Amino acid sequence: MKRKLRVAQIGCGFMGRAHANAYHQVTGAFDPPIEPSLEVICATDAARAQAFARRWGFASHSTSWREVVARDDIDLVDICVPNNLHAEIALAAAESGKAILCEKPLAMNVAQGREMVAAVEKAGVASLVSFNYRRVPAVTLAKQLIDEGRLGRVFHYRAQFLQDWTISPDLPQGGSAAWRLDASVAGSGVTGDLLAHCIDTALWQNGPITRVNAMTETFIKQRMHAVTGCEEPVRIDDACVFFCRFENGSLGNFESTRYARGHKALFTFEINGEHASIRWDLHDLHRLEWSDHGDEGAVRGWRSIHVTDGSGDHPYMDHWWVPGLAVGYGATFVHQLSDFLSAIHEGRSCSPTFREALETQKVCEAVLQSADAGQWVDIDTA
């Protein structure tokens, strides 16, 4: 009999579904050494929590995360709630000795993030932040190719995350549907929500960022607040572009917006090295574009690798279908859970831990400071 990891999931919105789906799929697809057991789902609305429990197979439901986190029969607390609650729940979970899986971004700001890191390290509990795109097989393959030194010296790293869902001035801010537009709940706009993904991937693939120079804009300055019913100033960044320097000498160039009409979730990155370049696009997530200067001149050019071949060393794909058949967004959460379960079983850490995710938080904060001040800001590496 395998050991069970008794899970309390807090939050049953869109991210809650992605996590619940992963708990179901991981056992069949990955045969992890310990198996999740869905003990309790927690949400503020009892009827919603109950319906979610029934649908996704949680043994019980609750409206009190404090009670849930304190329970003796829980091993893992999974935080899928808006950003302003991450720290409080994580601190309580660490104190009661639970492993923690936390949605991104880690926290509202660096100060909170530091407290969370201190809490999990003091308690000696496992932590993982859900930067799920690292575990798209094509993105993991890109990391492997970089680590093998195939790019040589890196000159440029550029990334974008473009969406278009907030263009309408009629969209409210706040409430369960639009909390990402409310700075008091989200912390920031596209910087913490979307660029955080790009930054996490970049730090992982290309090493530390040392300084940033940013520009942000809030295109719609006032929106109705769904909770107060009043027109209120919008305090999130609707768009952000920044330049940066990496410690390895390469130059970075990042852009994110929710005002790019036609783009739904266009996360892209491109890395140009001395010997080769790589690019990737979330809208075509199973492909990795690769251009290798070492190829024979006559056939040199961009090739498009269909990253679906488990027998051909494509990460994670040996657990899925036969070569040529792709997996999608949902699988990234299955992969991260599988990695986390194995790490917990073996007493290893699983990246990105709270400490690693704090580095992304630092870059986000420096980006916002730079945009406010209109000048370069150094990243605090302490």
Applying CB under 6 A, the residues found at the interface with ligand SOE are 163, 193, 265
CB of 282 to ligand SOE, least distance (A): 8
CB of 131 to ligand SOE, least distance (A): 9
Q: Is the peptide bond before 36 cis (omega within 30 degrees of 0)?
A: no
CB of 164 to ligand SOE, least distance (A): 10
Tokens of 261: 């009409």
CB of 306 to ligand SOE, least distance (A): 23
Pairwise CA distance, residues 218 & 236, whole Å: 7
Closest-by-Cβ residue to ligand SOE is 193
Q: Which is nearer to ligand SOE, 32 or 187 (CB)?
A: 187
CB of 51 to ligand SOE, least distance (A): 21
Residue 239, Cβ neighbours under 10 Å: how many? 20
Q: Which is nearer to ligand SOE, 17 or 150 (CB)?
A: 17
Q: What are the backbone dihedrals phi and psi of residue 218, each rounded to the nearest 5 degrees, phi first?
A: -115, 110
Q: Which is nearer to ligand SOE, 75 or 356 (CB)?
A: 356
Q: Which is nearer to ligand SOE, 34 or 260 (CB)?
A: 260
Pairwise CA distance, residues 321 & 332, whole Å: 15
Q: Say if CB 80 and CB 23 are below 8 A apart.
A: no
> Interior CA angle at 208 toward 158 and 378, to 5°?
95
Pairwise CA distance, residues 99 & 3, whole Å: 15
Q: Say if CB 68 and CB 42 are below 8 A apart.
A: yes
CB of 189 to ligand SOE, least distance (A): 10
Q: Which CA distances in Å does 66 have to 72, 107, 136, 217? A: 12, 18, 33, 37
CB of 174 to ligand SOE, least distance (A): 15
Q: Say if CB 128 and CB 102 are below 8 A apart.
A: yes
Q: Say if CB 186 and CB 193 are below 8 A apart.
A: yes
Q: Say if CB 242 and CB 199 are below 8 A apart.
A: no
Q: Say if CB 139 and CB 133 are below 8 A apart.
A: yes
CB of 330 to ligand SOE, least distance (A): 12
CB of 15 to ligand SOE, least distance (A): 7
Q: Which is nearer to ligand SOE, 182 or 193 (CB)?
A: 193
Q: Which is nearer to ligand SOE, 98 or 180 (CB)?
A: 180
Q: Is the dihedral of CA 357, 360, 365, 366 positive or negative?
A: positive
Q: Which is nearer to ligand SOE, 171 or 265 (CB)?
A: 265
Q: Which is nearer to ligand SOE, 23 or 267 (CB)?
A: 267
Q: Which is nearer to ligand SOE, 117 or 178 (CB)?
A: 178
The amino acid occupying position 25 is Q
> Interior CA angle at 281 toward 103 and 273, to 5°?
105
Over the range 50-64, which residues count as b (16 or more CB within 10 Å of their CB) and which as e?
bebbeebebeebbee
Q: At what angle do helices 137-147 and 196-206 cross, to 10 degrees?
A: 30
